Chains A and B, each alone.
Chain A
Amino acid sequence: MAVTETRIVTNRLREFTEDSWTIDRYLATGGYDMLRQALTMQPVQIQDEQVKASGLRGRGGAGFGTGQKWSFLPKGIYPRYLAVNGDEGEPSTFKDHMLIERDPHQIIEGVVISAFAIEAHIAFIYVRGEFALGIERLEQAVADAYAKGFIGKNILGSGFDLEVVVHRGAGAYIAGDETGLLSSLEGERAMPRIKPPFPAVQGLYAKPTVVNNVETMSTVPHILRMGGEEYAKLGVGRSTGTRIFSVSGHVARPGNYEVELGITFRQLIDELAGGVRGGKQMKFFIPGGASAPWLMPEHLDAPLDMDYVGSELKTMLGSGAIMVFDEDTNPALIAWRLLKFFAHESCGKCTPCREGSMWLEKVLFRISHGLGRPQDLDMMLSFGSTIVPGLNAPFSQTTICAMGPSTMSAVVSLDRFFREEILEMCNAGAARPTIPVTSA
């Protein structure tokens, strides 16, 4: 049986491509009904009977239980803040971009419900600075929601107050890290902070703060509509519900696909995204954004299950970005470009990441450009183990945030799947005259 999309979060924006982002369309399609319902409930009911019961896990990348995250807020300490992460920057992820541009009210409804559930009275929606149109539409949506009384003082007569601030980023991948985002919101460089204290205890301005992804927020109204337990029936194991996967690279139909968790990579890539373009064979694919270790065609029948992919395949579904590469792709070139990204985006706070990403990029540059040396791959594994001690999955780390170990994902993957090919390239390169290590 052919697999199809299960459109929950993306239903409106697919159905009404002309005006899915407007308040009129949102209200005409049941918008803010769940907010009305939520405001009649007790906050703890929403937390436990809806969000926790739904099994919803964060859609940003780490996959931490949303209800669980909320429950870490210490009792009796106010103010509390809600920070929404729309700083989508993980290479090849483009789902939040779509949600912000094409269904901003859905995010806002999720934000108001969530803020009510965690008793926060200010919510910040941090949006990647480059999303000019998205910010414009989100700001308009917030203004419209204020005008209709869905945000502001005494929302819909409930006595609940909430201010929503759209905060525009300015170009920094690391602001997408939970604590980097908080630093950035405070007007600092977006440098991650050491945990503990976790943001739930000391987050924004050292107050209890919940940081949730845009897709997570967009899902919340649907959990109330369906009921937490019903939502949990979708999906597989502890990966409940649907997720939006961004499929790109050498596929016939790149794009965002919202599917029930538990279908296979093959169904997603071949059936929905049309398989490898041009009748070619797949060489490898990256299952969860630039930070995820790679997979091979032999893994295509594995399920889209966060736990299975982690424990059995030693990688992650991460941000839900799946990059597909055909048989003509030079894996060293892909690894080099990913490391160029990490070297550029490393915030510089932790030495292993700052120095490690820079040197990995330089060595991968010479390998991928035909000037590698026979010892290069092992040398990268050697100094890379100062970033990821032991190099075993799940990666341990010597850095404050998860970007450190992410820099080694591509290198470990080269060693795991393309060692012979890389050594061959390096041996050919060794015959050439040596040039100084340099980058483009």
Chain B
Amino acid sequence: MAFSDVNLTRARDIVARYPRPKSAILPLAHLAQDQDGWLTAEAMEEIAVLTGVTPAEVQGTCSFYTMFKRRPCGSLLVSVCTNVTCLVTGGPAILRHLTERYGDDDDVTVEEVECLAACGGAPALQVNYEYHEQLTPEIAEALVDDYKAGRRTPRTISGAQR
């Protein structure tokens, strides 16, 4: 089984919230990802059973959304915005710096993302969906190192509280 007993109970509660079970695919995929660190094929198969659709339908839905990682990624997901406001305030330099710095680090996955709706504090990034704003490459690196060293507690890979 893909879901733990506790999460399976949660999953059934989530399904029960919706008039139709298929609506629960997104929340269940978040739950599975938080449990496993990424969205596994087994999890998608179990979600299919829970929502009464085929595994292909679950995969079809999940592959559309950027938050679902369908291959293993680092336990720290650093999402750097480079959309226009961050572009003109230094986002690309932060992305380049972090990509180089953590390129060989299996714990840290650095990704470029679209507008995070934090333009008032641009340039912005998220670490496991926790916002950090008004950054420079140096501050951003220090921040990620803080998470790595345990000086900051990260959220789960889908952004839930631990």
Contact = CB atoms under 8 A, between A and B. Distances in A.
Interface stretch (A34-42, A161-169, A370-378): A161-169
Contacts of A249: 84-85, 88-89, 119
13 contacts: A91-B84, A94-B118, A129-B65, A130-B159, A136-B161, A170-B30, A172-B64, A186-B22, A187-B20, A190-B65, A334-B84, A338-B84, A347-B64
Contact of A189 (B18, B29, B61, B116): B61
B99 interface: no
A323 B85 contact: yes
Size category, B interface: 35 or more
B114 A89 contact: yes
Contacts, number: 151
Contact of A172 (B20, B23, B65): B65
Contact of A129 (B18, B30, B118): B30
Nearest to A91: B115
B83 A171 contact: no
Nearest to A254: B120
Given A91-B85, A246-B119, A325-B88, A190 B27 contact: no
A347 to B, nearest CB: 8
A250 interface: yes
B30, B51, B115, B121 interface centre (most CB from chain A within 10 Å): B115
B66 interface: yes
A128 B117 contact: yes
A88 interface: yes
B26 A92 contact: no
Interface in A121-179: 122, 128-133, 135-136, 163, 165, 167-173
A254 B82 contact: no
Nearest to B121: A254
Contact of B64 (A94, A96, A189, A321): A189
A130 B85 contact: no
Contacts of B23: 167, 185-187
Contacts of B131: 133
Interface stretch (B2-10, B100-108, B122-130, B139-147): B122-130
A168 B114 contact: no
Given A122-B19, A345-B114, A132 B159 contact: yes
B73 interface: no
Given A290-B84, A333-B87, A188 B117 contact: no
Interface string B61-104: 11011111000000000010011110111000000000000000
Contacts of B158: 129
B78 to A, nearest CB: 13
A334 B84 CA distance: 6
B17 interface: yes
